[in-house]
Amino acid sequence: MEAKRCTWIIDPCREKQEMYKKVLGPKASLLFFDHPREALIALLKGTVPMLIISELPFDQTGEDLRQWIMEFKQLPLIVISQFSNLDVIRELFQCGIKDYLTHPVDSNELLIKWELQFEDRRKWETMSNRAVVLGDTCLRELTHKEFQIINLFLSAKNHEVSRDALNFNIWGSCTVHSKTINVHLHNLRKKIQPSGHNIICKRHGHWKLITKINDASFCKSA
């Protein structure tokens, strides 16, 4: 039997929580939060494959929802909201959500969109599980973002990448904080250093993938 897929729901409405249990409960392991702040605290203890946000007025403004979307953008997000304005919906997608539903929610549509998110995740995980070979070392424990970043360096001229190139190729149209990029580079740097490679800062906002042995021969995706 297939394991239930862990899904977080941010919605303080008990009536809606019952709806989620009825629609997603047979396939999902559900964890409910009354406020995104509670989910963010829980996130520090681990990650989950999907997060559904039901847009209730956490502070009576849509801006608050956008801010929380940015906090959780490393996870797939489905926003369920009362907004139907095209500009608002477009902005939410630009903030990083994966899908959008409006109230009242059609249970069949919710289930289908939930299933599609996990199907997309399986595809990404299959891609991210591909090994990257650096020198004589095969790196397999890379996150999806790290896999994207290392391959961006490998395909770049002189293996040098700018902050703008990272932002565009990895995060698309979403503007990410410089600290987010720095954290990903820091984590990736620690993973590749045992292979004799490193990511160094050439100048402000520009990094280069190098090898301590020589800077000429690199590797491939396996």
- What is the pTM for the complete model shown? 0.53
Displacement of CA 150 from its chain's centroid (Å)? 17
Residue 41 has pLDDT above 90, yes or no: no
Q: Are residues 138 and 105 in the same domain?
A: no
Strand, helix or coil for residue 62: helix
**Structural domain harbouring 72:** 5-126
Q: Domain boundary at 76, 94, 126, which?
A: 126
Residue (of 80, 88, 83, 87) closest to 106 by Cα position: 80
60 and 97 share one domain: yes
- Indicate the residue among 92, 126, 160 that finishes a domain: 126
Three-class secondary structure assignment of 125-189: HHHHCCCEEECCEEECCCCHHHHHHHHHHHHCHHHEEEHHHHHHHHHCCCCCCHHHHHHHHHHHH
Task: Name the domain boundary from 99, 126, 153.
Answer: 126
Whether residue 121 sits in one domain with residue 33: yes
Q: How many domains does the chain have?
A: 2
Residue 29 and residue 90 in one domain? yes
What pLDDT is attached to residue 92?
A: 78
pLDDT category of residue 132 using cuts at 50, 70 and 90: confident
Average pLDDT, the chain: 78
Q: Are residues 133 and 122 in the same domain?
A: no
Is there a single domain that holds both residue 46 and residue 26?
yes
CATH code of the domain containing 19: 3.40.50.2300
**Whole-number pLDDT of residue 208:** 93
CA distances from 143 to 92, 98, 107, 118, 139 (A): 25, 19, 33, 17, 11
Do the Cβ atoms of 114 and 78 come closer than 8 Å? yes
The pLDDT value recorded for residue 206 is 92
